[in-house]
Amino acid sequence: DGGITQSPKYLFRKEGQNVTLSCEQNLNHDAMYWYRQDPGQGLRLIYYSQIVNDFQKGDIAEGYSVSREKKESFPLTVTSAQKNPTAFYLCDSSRQGNYGYTFGSGTRLTVV
Amino acid sequence: AQTVTQSQPEMSVQEAETVTLSCTYDTSENNYYLFWYKQPPSRQMILVIRQEAYKQQNATENRFSVNFQKAAKSFSLKISDSQLGDTAMYFCAFMRTNNNDMRFGAGTRLTVKP
């Protein structure tokens, strides 16, 4: 079955450490996105990529980095520069035509 | 920049009743797309309904329908015959044409009571 896989589901990180969240899709979608979800704030865009080897900053890109070396993969690295990284992270993708997003099941990141 | 506002942080409805969730947005674009997403306790985001701004007819998907008022920049979601499984967070979202960058509202937490 086609879909988006985010791993791991839960992730714990010590302060000062970088951590990478995985996102893989087999839907043949060109565009992929990373959103952060905090209570009461909805979803905020971190980074997005419309095509392989190209990506754009979203509204809250500071402290995050991404890569898009393959169409299927769009990993997100939360760096030590991110001051408040504890949140729920959603990866999603879309095909051409404004049909909306297909979402992964999310990764809950907790800094300990 | 486009903004999406959901003015109702929480709502509740009795099972089998009808409830309407509000959403307004701000844009200078003429062509765009609007969406409602449902996020149940599993936190999996599920597309509920989609509306194209150039279509005057309101979108409908089974028990879910929208009231799209383009001039007022309003996009409310009506859920008829509410079911316990409708309990979830509901997010309104805006997408410009030819730009898949989507903007979300803060969400409305809906509880369906037995």
Place of tokens 């190209």: A54
Q: Cα separation of A60 and A33, whole Å?
A: 13
Q: Which of B35, B101, B104 sits opposite A42 (nearest CB)?
A: B104
Element (H, E) at B88: strand B88-96
* Lowest-confidence segment of A4-13, A36-45, A63-72, A91-100 by average pLDDT: A91-100
pLDDT in tens, B1-59: 669 999 999 999 999 999 999 999 999 988 899 999 999 998 999 999 999 999 888 99
Q: Which of B44, B47, B105 sits opposite A42 (nearest CB)?
A: B105
pLDDT of residue A47: 96
Q: Cα separation of B43 and A37, whole Å?
A: 10
Contact A84, A11 (CB under 8 A): no
Minimal C-alpha gap between B104 and chain A (Å): 6
DSSP character for B54? T
Give the type of residue at A67: S
Residues of chain A in contact with residue B52, where contact means CB-CB under 8 angstroms, are 98
pLDDT of residue B58: 93
Cβ separation B95–A98 shorter than 8 A: yes
Contact A63, A47 (CB under 8 A): no
What share of chain A in percent tops pLDDT 70? 96
Query: What's the mean per-residue pLDDT of chain A?
Result: 92
Cβ separation B45–A48 shorter than 8 A: no
**Average pLDDT over every residue of A48-65:** 94
Q: Which of A42, A48, A98 sits opposite B91 (nearest CB)?
A: A42
Cβ separation B45–A50 shorter than 8 A: no
Contact A48, A34 (CB under 8 A): yes
Strands (E), A1-112: 4-7, 10-13, 19-25, 31-37, 43-51, 54-57, 64-66, 76-78, 87-94, 102-103, 107-111
Assign A98 a pLDDT band (cuts: 50, 70, 90): low
